[in-house]
Structure 1
Amino acid sequence: MITHRIVRTWEVLPHDGYATAWVELTGRRLGARGRAVGLLPEPYWVTYTLETGEEYVTSRLHVTVDTAEGGVAGVATRSLDLRNDGGRWTVDGTHRPDLDGALDCDLGVCPLTNTMPVLRHDLHRRPGSGPHDFLMAWVSVPDLAVSANRQTYTPLARGGQGTRVRFSSGDFHSDIEFDERGLVLDYPELATALTR
């Protein structure tokens, strides 16, 4: 089975920061590790590992965040262990029934986590195929609070360097551009991929 290894770095606009993901795509599985650094709402450093099972369904997300505590003198470290075992989600070992039924995690400041539903349904290759609704385990950064979040992905049209997919959650909407491998190229007002 062929493994595709990809490294992608994004400028994360609202956080005045950057995120990099080292991704491995093997068959219908995704594995990644990543780092992000930002200045807003407070300076932070994030590291994470992400594992999926078949069909890009999240099996585990482990995240660590360092933030300043008391100015330059101290650092506060928080961590999160989010797991999905056949549709039963746990947060740091505690069952979270509100997340049951979700297939994906969505880590704030991490454009990579928009990839799993896009790959699972080939949304980057099927413009105009209609809306797809998802329940996500949303992880906010830097506090690592986990909540259930309903999201809709609607493939639009090819253009630019990839395919635009409309992302909607509550009152928020954005037309995200994905490349041929299902990775974010441009997420207006949130993140843009850096090229060499």
Structure 2
Amino acid sequence: MTSVLWQASDGGSELCVLDRTDRGWRLTGTVLTHDEGRPMEIRYAVSVDTTWATTDVEVDVSTAGGPSQALTDLAALWSGEPRPPELQSCVDVDLSFTPATNTLPIRRLDLGIGEDAEIEVAWLVWPDLDVRPVRQTYARLGERRYRYTQDDFEAEIQVDENGLVLEYEGLWRAVARTEN
């Protein structure tokens, strides 16, 4: 089990845990953030198989003092139900409110230094909470450095030995980390 506490450039924070399971791996996290001045809590869990392909996604969003909203449409994409045609080729999920889901393609693609790959992911857009397919490129720059590109956005990502983000250029940085 590896735990990391991230600080966001917008003042938010997140506690993320990566656990090995008998079927693969599971990322769980709690994000504390805000939307239009309202405090928000987002809890998520993403399960992957031994190849790091997404098998299950759970996301719950709560406004401070308000009810929790489970995003069932997102979970349905990995429930065995037929996916919408535009999302059928998506192996990975990208939850835009956390750097945790960058771990999934980094581990699944297993790029060599100097290699890159373009993938299509099911992207959960924050704060709209819409799911849409997007193309992303991961390029491995060094032992633990990657360049991530989506549309006209580009950032360098530094990861630990598990592929968990330590520094996401301009957006997130790890402030504490433990491994058991």
Pairwise TM-score range, normalised by the shorter structure: 0.7 to 0.9
Q: Which has the larger radius of gyration?
A: 1
Question: What residue is the counterpart of 1:127 in the other structure?
Answer: 113
Cα drift, residue 67 of structure 1: 2.0
Question: What residue is the counterpart of 2:51 in the other structure?
Answer: 55
TM-score by length of 1: 0.79
Q: CA contact under 8 A between 2:62 and 2:68: conserved in structure 1?
A: yes
Choose which of 174, 177, 180 in structure 2 pairs with 1:193: 174
Question: What residue is the counterpart of 1:71 in the other structure?
Answer: none
Q: CA contact under 8 A between 1:19 and 1:109: conserved in structure 2?
A: no
Cα drift, residue 169 of structure 1: 0.3
Q: CA contact under 8 A between 2:27 and 2:47: conserved in structure 1?
A: yes
Q: Secondary structure at the match of 2:176?
A: coil
Q: Secondary structure at the match of 2:51?
A: helix
Q: Secondary structure at the match of 2:17?
A: strand
TM-score by length of 2: 0.86
Q: Secondary structure at the match of 2:71?
A: strand
Question: What residue is the counterpart of 1:9 in the other structure?
Answer: 5
Cα drift, residue 39 of structure 1: 2.4
Question: What residue is the counterpart of 1:108 in the other structure?
Answer: 96
Name stretches of at least 5 consecutive residues in structure 1 with no aligned partner.
69-73
Question: What residue is the counterpart of 2:158 in the other structure?
Answer: 177
TM-aligned CA distance change 1:180 to 1:90, over 3 Å: closer
| Aligned counterparts of 1:80 and 1:102: Cα–Cα separation in 2 | 18
Say if 2:29 is the partner of 1:34.
yes
What do residues 81-139 of structure 1 show as CA deviations (whole Å, max 9, x unaligned)? 3347xxxx369x7832211111100012211100011111223xx221x2201111111
What letter corresponds to residue 51 of structure 1 in structure 2? S
| Aligned counterparts of 2:157 and 2:19: Cα–Cα separation in 1 | 22
Choose which of 127, 131, 136 in structure 2 pairs with 1:151: 136
Question: What residue is the counterpart of 2:106 in the other structure?
Answer: 118
Question: What residue is the counterpart of 2:70 in the other structure?
Answer: 79
| Aligned counterparts of 1:67 and 1:113: Cα–Cα separation in 2 | 22
Cα drift, residue 23 of structure 1: 1.2
Percent of aligned pairs with the same amino acid? 32
Aligned length: 174
Say if 2:42 is the partner of 1:46.
yes
Q: CA contact under 8 A between 2:123 and 2:133: conserved in structure 1?
A: yes
| Aligned counterparts of 1:121 and 1:106: Cα–Cα separation in 2 | 15
TM-aligned CA distance change 1:166 to 1:98, over 3 Å: same
Higher relative contact order (CA 8 A, sep 6+): 2
What letter corresponds to residue 31 of structure 1 in structure 2? R
| Aligned counterparts of 1:6 and 1:120: Cα–Cα separation in 2 | 18
